[in-house]
Amino acid sequence: MHHKMGGREDTFREKYMLGERAGEYAIHGGGVPVRVRGVEGIVAVVVVSGLKQQEDHQIVVEALEGLMESQPKE
């Protein structure tokens, strides 16, 4: 969303008509949806915040990769 909105939170608020609720949402990276094979839809979301958005996102990716590697192979 950050790139799509050009980093402008006011554009995000107006496009999605969020009004005063806009503060409940962020347009920055750091969240990754979790899907499970055989299960319909997203089952969880992992979010990291506090670093640059690319670093937040990378932490989540690396953690999920580590988790997947530790699982028994099918």
pLDDT at 40: 95
74 has a pLDDT exceeding 90:
no
Structure tokens at 44: 């969880």
Q: Which is more confidently placed, 1 or 61?
A: 61
11-67 confidence digits (pLDDT tens): 888 888 888 877 777 777 778 889 888 999 999 999 888 888 888 889 988 998 999
pLDDT at 63: 92
Structure tokens at 66: 């580590």
Structure tokens at 11: 């554009």
Q: How do the domains of the chain map onto residue ranges?
A: 9-70
Residue 5 CA to residue 42 CA, distance in Å, equals 24
